[in-house]
Amino acid sequence: MNNLVIKRSQLVEFPITGTPTTLRRYKARTIPNLSRNNIILYGLECYTEDQLAQTPSGEAVIDTADANQVTLTLMDTDKEQFIYNCPIISLIRANVGGFVTVFKPRLINLQDCFIQLTDATGIDPNENVVFNFYYQLVGE
Amino acid sequence: MSKGIISPLINYMTENEMICDATSPVSYYQKTAQIDFTTAGGALPTSLAINKPYYFKPDNTLDHQNGDIKAIEVVSPSVQNTFENGISNLSSDDVFGNVLLYLVDGNDNILVQTPLTSLLGISYGGYALKLYRTKLSNVIWQKCYIEILDTTLISAGEGIKFKVYYDKKDRK
Neighbouring CB atoms inside 10 A of B41's CB total: 8
Burial (CB count within 10 angstroms: exposed 0-12, middle 13-18, buried 19+), residue B120:
buried
> Which residue from A55, A98, A105 is facing B130, i.e. has the nearest CB?
A98
In chain B, residues with a C-beta closer than 8 Å to the C-beta of A1 are 21-23, 124, 128
Looking at residue B38, its pLDDT comes to: 73
Looking at residue A9, its pLDDT comes to: 95
In chain A, residues with a C-beta closer than 8 Å to the C-beta of B13 are 2, 42, 102, 105
A53 close contact with B: CB closer than 8 A: yes
Query: Of the CATH numbers 1.20.59, 3.40.720, 1.10.1060, 2.60.120, which one belongs to the domain with range B29-168?
Result: 2.60.120
A126 close contact with B: CB closer than 8 A: no
* Touching B: A residues 56-85, CB under 8 Å: 56, 58
Q: Report how far residue B97's alpha carbon sits from residue A13's, in angstroms, rounded to the nearest whole number.
A: 16
> Which residue from B9, B97, B124 is facing A51, i.e. has the nearest CB?
B97
pLDDT digits (tens, 9 = 90+) for A34-71: 888 889 999 999 999 999 999 998 999 999 999 999 99
What's the angle, vertex CA B148, arms to CA B122 and CA B94, rounded to 5? 35
Q: Residue ranges per domain, chain B?
A: 29-168
**B104, closest residue in chain A (CA to CA):** A8
Looking at residue A35, its pLDDT comes to: 82
State the pTM of this model. 0.91
Looking at residue B42, its pLDDT comes to: 47
Neighbouring CB atoms inside 10 A of B77's CB total: 17
ipTM at complex level: 0.92
End-to-end CA distance of chain A: 25
Look at the alpha carbons of B89, B90, B96, B99 in this order and tell me if their dihedral is positive or negative: negative
Q: SS3 of A103, please?
A: strand
Beta-carbon contacts of residue A16 (< 8 Å; ≥ 6 apart): A26, A62, A115, A117, A123, A124, A125, A126, A127, A128, A129
In chain B, residues with a C-beta closer than 8 Å to the C-beta of A8 are 111-112
pLDDT along chain B (172 residues), means of 10: 72 92 88 83 62 91 87 93 93 94 93 94 64 90 94 90 90 54
Indicate the length of chain A as a whole number. Answer: 140
In chain B, residues with a C-beta closer than 8 Å to the C-beta of A2 are 10, 13-14, 19-22
Neighbouring CB atoms inside 10 A of B133's CB total: 23
**A61, closest residue in chain B (CA to CA):** B97
In chain A, residues with a C-beta closer than 8 Å to the C-beta of B50 are 58
Share of chain A above pLDDT 90, in %: 84
Range B3-9 contact pairs with CB under 8 angstroms and sequence separation of 24 or more: B9/A104
Residue type, A138: V
Q: Report how far residue B73's alpha carbon sits from residue B8's, in angstroms, rounded to the nearest whole number.
A: 30
Q: Report how far residue B69's alpha carbon sits from residue B58's, in angstroms, rounded to the nearest whole number.
A: 15
Q: How confident is the model at residue A82 (pLDDT cuts 50, 70, 90)?
A: very high
Beta strand spans in B14-63 (E): 19-21, 29-37, 53-55
